[in-house]
Amino acid sequence: MRRLSTIAEMTGREILRRRAVLFLLLLFPLPFYLLQRAEHPGQAIRFLFVGLSWAISGSAMFVAHSGRAIDPRLRLSGYRAHHLWMGRMSALWLIGTVVTLPYLALVVVDQPRVRHGALAVAMVLCVAVAAPFGLLLGAVVSREFEGTLLLLVTVGIQMVADPATTTARLMPFWSGREIGTYAIDHTDTGFLVRGVAHGLACALLFSLALAVVSALRLRRRRHLRTLPAN
Amino acid sequence: MIDDPDWLDVLAGELRLRGLPEDQVTRVLGETRAHLWDAGEDPARAFGTPSAYAAAVHESLGTPPIPARRKVVRAEAPRLQATGIGKRHGRHRLLHDVDLTVHAGEVAAIVGANGCGKSTFLRICAGVERAHAGRVVVRGSIGYCPQGGGTSDFLTPDEHFVLVGAGRGLGRDRSRGAGRALAEHLWWPRPAPIAAARLSGGTRQKLEVILTALGDPDVLLLDEPYQGFDRDSYMYFWDRVREWANEGRAIVVVTHLLDRLERADTVVDLTPSPHAAPGVRGRHHPKGTQPR
């Protein structure tokens, strides 16, 4: 447990020390909301979810990339692969949740007729999905530029695809749009249930994939056999 | 100022840097402080710079010898035994049939031309890169110092000590204490609380070495660990290597500088042989280690 909490703490310190990144992380989702707010207040909330997911998954991807160099040393120092990915994901979940709070407050104040409980659920799911998705992207794609492009494509498809289509449902951040519809348009609970199920399934799926990729990447190679010291 | 603590601190560091034992450092500091007190002089005026004064003291006391080698007990199983290691990059054969055996208390140096596979061999020994042939048996824990990149840009030295120390099962205070003690041994007396990205190249490299040795791993694998060190730090580093070996560790150092090979018990040259078959970069000189 100490190892996991140490990784989480150090990940948090790294992110907090990158002031420019932190500033952008905090402000990045704001234009998504403000640019649509006047004419399409409901769409502004859906775009806000996408902006939050983009910001958090982008940060997670950079955390994964910056950890790549030090990971072999940490693995040899006694950490297991799950300490590394779970510790980083915990830190990102915590920071991501903190980032969403002012936006939740903004929407609550700005749009009183929306179902605010559902908004909070959608934002929590945005964080829950975006952190493992970004870490997975960083673990699979070794170069930051390629990873950034992939993230851009994912978010772009998510924004332009009709939410009712299969393509949109296969995207990682679909849950926000579905729950958003429930919260904004006061539709039936089916939207909420589908959105929550999609979000939880994505969070679980990405976490499992991350566990597998991390274990493979940081596995001890078969030619090495370690025995206790004499 | 009669008793300038900064001047005396720097002097103490300079004396340690030159290898004076701690009791001599204490004695010199005591005598210097007493002289300054009696004479009522400014230390810089009385003795000049701490570095110059330390050099004069060092010369008057004589150069300390290289730490003596302790007898290696070869009856024990080796700490690191690499046998028949082979590595290919596509059709290019980088390593072929390389052996290395290092016992507790021994220092092995891996030398060779650029691109001959020194770092790859060390990564294979650490288990972070796959070998296409052969096996490595390590008895005990491994400390691996990669050739740069083994630190985080945004963490301070103390945070690095805590991070790596936690992996080795050490608490925060013990990790910080151990890290700072190792830093002092590498002539880095007070690691500043600044992010690693802001450290100089040589200081960051010291951080790499400290993190490798933190928690007393049984086998130390060091890949050109002295890059960016100044001359004194470089000499001091080799003294530390010998001391670590004397404490019972097995050490492998990848190096392209040959002026300290007398401190190694085993030297393995990975430079491809000129008699290699066409299309093959070469068989490596040693089939087995070269005990000296």
**B145 forms bridges with which residues in the sheet?**
B222
Angle, helix B172-185 to helix B201-213, in steps of 10 degrees = 120
Q: Looking at the predicted structure, is the pLDDT value of residue B243 above 50?
A: yes
Most confident of B105-109, B156-160, B213-217, B263-267: B156-160
In a domain, B265, yes or no: no
In a domain, B27, yes or no: yes
What average pLDDT does the segment A186-199 reach? 93
In a domain, B221, yes or no: no
Cα dist from B32 to B3, B19, B36, B55, B254, whole Å: 9, 18, 6, 14, 41
Which residue of chain A is at minimal alpha-carbon distance from B125? A224
Q: What is the pLDDT of residue B5?
A: 62
What average pLDDT does the segment B188-192 reach? 85
Q: What is the pLDDT of residue A159?
A: 86
| DSSP H or E run through B268 | strand B266-269
Q: What is the pLDDT of residue B37?
A: 77
In a domain, B187, yes or no: no
Give the whole-angstrom CA distance, residue A176 versus residue A198. Answer: 9
In a domain, B106, yes or no: no
3-class DSSP state for residue B254?
strand
Q: What is the pLDDT of residue B281?
A: 37
Could you tell me which residues come within 8 angstroms of residue B95 by beta carbon, excluding any fewer than 6 positions away?
B85, B86, B87, B117, B120, B121, B124, B131, B270, B284
Q: Looking at the predicted structure, is the pLDDT value of residue B278 above 50?
A: no
In a domain, B171, yes or no: no
Q: Looking at the predicted structure, is the pLDDT value of residue B1 above 50?
A: no
Q: What is the pLDDT of residue A109?
A: 92
Chain A CB within 8 Å of residue B86 CB: no
Q: What is the pLDDT of residue B291?
A: 40
- Lowest-pLDDT choice from A70-84, A189-203, B99-113, B251-265: B251-265
Query: Confidence band (pLDDT; 50, 70, 90) for B6?
Result: confident
Q: What is the pLDDT of residue B284?
A: 41
**B142 forms bridges with which residues in the sheet?**
B219
| DSSP H or E run through B97 | strand B92-102
Query: Confidence band (pLDDT; 50, 70, 90) for A56?
Result: very high
Q: What is the pLDDT of residue B227?
A: 83
Q: Looking at the predicted structure, is the pLDDT value of residue B263 above 80?
A: no
pLDDT in tens, B151-183: 999 999 999 999 999 999 999 999 999 999 898
Q: Looking at the predicted structure, is the pLDDT value of residue B108 above 80?
A: yes
State the CB neighbour count (10 A cutoff) for residue B176: 18
Query: Confidence band (pLDDT; 50, 70, 90) for A58?
Result: very high
- Lowest-pLDDT choice from A198-202, B81-85, B114-118, B280-284: B280-284
Q: What is the pLDDT of residue A9?
A: 96
Q: What is the pLDDT of residue A18?
A: 86
What average pLDDT does the segment A165-174 reach? 90
**Mean pLDDT rounded to a whole number for chain A:** 91
Cα dist from A109 to A39, A53, A105, B267, whole Å: 17, 21, 6, 72
Percent residues over pLDDT 90 in chain A: 63
| Structure-model confidence comparison of residues B11 and B245, the more confident one | B245
Chain B CB within 8 Å of residue A3 CB: yes
Q: Which of residues 159-178 of B touch A (CB under 8 A)?
A: 159, 162-164, 166-169
Q: What is the pLDDT of residue B277?
A: 39
Q: What is the pLDDT of residue B290?
A: 43
> How many A/B residue pairs have CB atoms within 8 Å?
120
CB contact under 8 A, A74 and B167: yes
In a domain, B125, yes or no: no
Range of the domain at B50: 5-61
Chain B CB within 8 Å of residue A144 CB: no
Percent residues over pLDDT 70 in chain B: 82
- Residue for token digits 């290696």? B72
Domain count, chain B: 1
Q: Across the beta sheet with B142-145, what order do the strands follow?
A: B142-145, B219-223, B250-254, B107-111, B266-269
Q: What is the pLDDT of residue A124?
A: 96
pLDDT in tens, A59-99: 999 999 988 889 999 999 999 999 999 999 999 999 999 99
Q: Which of residues 240-259 of B touch A (CB under 8 A)?
A: none
Chain B CB within 8 Å of residue A20 CB: no
Q: What is the pLDDT of residue B3?
A: 53
Chain A CB within 8 Å of residue B197 CB: no
In terms of phi and psi (left: phi > 0; alpha: psi -120 to 50; beta: otherwise), the region of B267 is beta
Chain A CB within 8 Å of residue B79 CB: yes
Q: Looking at the predicted structure, is the pLDDT value of residue B280 above 70?
A: no
Angle, helix A174-185 to helix A41-68, in steps of 10 degrees = 150
Q: What is the pLDDT of residue B65?
A: 52
Best of B79, B138, B163 to disrupt the A interface (most A CBs within 10 Å) is B163
CB contact under 8 A, B168 and A225: no
**Mean pLDDT rounded to a whole number for chain B:** 81
Q: Looking at the predicted structure, is the pLDDT value of residue B282 above 60?
A: no
In a domain, B49, yes or no: yes
- Lowest-pLDDT choice from A117-121, B35-39, B63-67, B197-201: B63-67
Q: What is the pLDDT of residue B72?
A: 57
Q: Are A44 and A91 a contacting pair, CB within 8 Å?
A: no
Query: Confidence band (pLDDT; 50, 70, 90) for A101?
Result: very high
Query: Confidence band (pLDDT; 50, 70, 90) for B288?
Result: very low
Percent residues over pLDDT 70 in chain A: 100
Whether the ipTM is more than 0.90: the answer is no
| Minimal CA separation from B275 to chain A, in Å | 29
